[in-house]
Structure 1
């Protein structure tokens, strides 16, 4: 049998290498589509059986909860914080996560809680419900199934808030904090549970919707237009300077609630833009010297205050998007897996700024003469004239 010429073998090898190169290049170009497809539940939401509903009268339904939620002391922070977490669930088989999903809880404990709930630890007692959050995949597609999953998740958030108000608030001042998908949930919560109820609204020090698109022409609360103002809304979505792709995605692909409690495209409307460095909704530019503290708190023990890096970023609102300069320290750059890089970053560029801003708004609310201060809860009843002494344990 005649041997093939060496030139033919080299040609075959070259063709194989070229084909492999094309495969690698295609995988790189379409890596987002490939990874996103792997997270697709591939089942219509209408036939999907969601995980069991949480019971918010039980401690297991809360990711963060005070030791005695309905009792506070002079040593407690002056307010409460109702915190709605962002997506920590990748997805795959499920549209919505069970509340006991272990990887989701680990990401919350390691990244979300220290970086995004952490700035409020010294402002208020933290109440963070576990909820059947819509998966990361629902943030990567505009399919109606994904919108259904996000609408479904809101019912849990609303149920948790009602339980908090009925059983634990006791007239205390409070803040609402939501991040990304959690911020979208919190936006609807404010519109339906807080804004229409004067008694509840009177106790709201502020609402922070972090990395959340809210239409500027129809916010659920009046925007915060100056530092130290109480009862207002601070909402923003950010992009680094010259990140045109991120800016366009925020404007083209963001979903917001309409008047019928449906998720609709932003459709060219300008988002509300609060500048955390200035403490106000304004187009003025804030230089980096105003940055009170960026921080990477990932992995820190809960409640520990991270080391601050001051003067790290400047920020300005432009076209409804908060344009932020890129920080130089490596610890303030995204890291982790493909999925982790599409969740909230493992750092907070405005950690110190949010802490100071929230404290000032709580002080503004509680120092107002019209604010009805809650009476401290009764934890002990003493006998008089020889009666038995009864102690109430909570």
Structure 2
């Protein structure tokens, strides 16, 4: 009898290992109490540069330039980061949570936001993001936690629009929880012609984005269209999916089309991996890997972006399928596409090799 139960458990774990691992991960992050207004962290003051992880692609406190030749950028990027708060202590991240700040500095900025450094001034607000457990929590708790997070994003964008953008065209880019908030923000902004006339594109990556959710905005249909949205969720072919919905938007970043045509790895201009969430070199710098050209091909299938088996050890973080590498696997293609869309927005006819 014991052998029978062990066998059943073993078979269950074999077929549902990813789901079981995710459940444990969420349980370890589950707040100890229900959401309470008494526990809401203090809000950010976005007129203070310390409330931003990046201002003009620089760290505000150290004023450390992250990319050379930063002056003269004609375009601004408002970047909304993914979930980096996994503590049981609160439903929303307190302002000075060191683990979250470390993850943003060492992973999210280098592997995601930095793709926009060559073209644009990047503005990266801190916000009281919802604890990752909010994604599976009761609606009563999760709705309140996500609303606190979104209120910060709305306030940050208002400051960005009034004081940082300075009339320049802008891009909204995001990942995961950040994309949830970006979707809501763009819907609110959609009726404001004064702002949206300067909107170039939304890179809304790594979340449940559908035509219905982004309406009245539209989905980009090629690599040059502006005033529209692109997005995708990366998975290994026939592998585990964190979002399994055929209605999800899937724009292939190797072709910038929505069809299900397979695009071979020869069109992948370069991928950037990382060894783990908190890995560092001996000098304390993020241990990002070099750009790898022609690493993987991809195709949209059933709402997900399927990639071939990755012939590299530089992409080991697989808890949420390939969610962590939604930007990194297509890093150089995104970088090039941003330039193309900016040029088309300004009406420039420039040949991009």
TMscore range, shorter length: 0.7 to 0.9
1:210 aligns with 2:205: yes
Once structures 1 and 2 are overlaid, which stretch shifts more, 208-217 or 115-124?
Answer: 208-217
- Structure 2: runs of 5 or more not aligned: 61-68
Does 1:291 pair with 2:268? yes
Higher-Rg structure is 1
Compared CA separation, residues 214 and 186, structure 1 to 2 (3 A): same
In structure 2, how many angstroms separate the alpha carbons of the residues matched to 1:104 and 1:342? 20
Q: 1:291 to 1:212 in 2, by over 3 A?
A: same
Show the counterpart of 2:258: 281
The 5-angstrom pairing of residues 89-128 of structure 1 reads 89-128=85-124
Residue 196, structure 1, aligned to residue 186, structure 2: no
Partner residue, 2:31: 41
Q: How does 1:331-346 map to 2 (within 5 A)?
A: 331-334=314-317, 344-345=324-325
Deviation (angstroms), 1:36: 2.6
Three-state SS of the structure 2 residue aligned to 1:134 is coil
Superposed displacement of residue 216, structure 1? 2.6
* TM-score scaled by length of structure 2: 0.81
1:363 aligns with 2:340: no
Tell me which residue corresponds to 2:64: none
Whether 2:250 is the aligned partner of 1:250: answer: no
Partner Cα distance (1:196, 1:303) in 2: 41
Query: What do the CA deviations read for 1:234-258 (whole angstroms, capped 9, x no partner)?
Result: 1112221011x41xx413xxxxxxx
303-312 vs 115-124, which deviates more? 303-312
SS state at 2:171 partner: strand
Residue 239, structure 1, aligned to residue 239, structure 2? no
Residues 218-227 or 203-212, more deviating: 218-227
Secondary structure of the structure 2 residue equivalent to 1:90: coil
Post-superposition CA distance 1:357-393 (Å, at most 9, x none): 1111111112269xxxxxxxxxxxxxxxxxxxxxxxx
**Comparing 282-291 and 173-182, the one that deviates more:** 282-291
Give ranges in structure 1 of 5+ residues lacking alignment.
Answer: 1-14, 252-267, 370-394
How far 1:74 sits from its partner (Å)? 8.7
3-state SS in 2 of match to 1:82: strand
Q: Distance in 2 between matches of 1:34 and 1:306?
A: 29
Report the alpha carbon displacement of residue 346 of structure 1 after superposing the two structures with TM: 9.6
Change (3 A) 1:318 1:122: same
The TM-score normalised by the length of structure 1 is 0.73
**How far apart are 1:277 and its partner, in Å?**
0.4
Q: Distance in 1 between matches of 2:345 and 2:251?
A: 20
Aligned equivalents of 1:68 and 1:241: distance in 2? 38
Q: Is the 8 A contact 2:201 2:229 kept in 1?
A: yes
CA deviation map 1:197-249 (0-9, x unaligned): 11211111111011122113442421110112222111112221011x41xx4
- Tell me: CA distance 1:187–1:314, structure 2 relative to 1, closer, same or farther (3 Å): same
Contact between 2:35 and 2:141, CA under 8 Å: does it hold in 1?
Answer: yes
Give the Cα–Cα distance (whole angstroms) in 2 for the partners of residues 25 and 159 of structure 1: 49
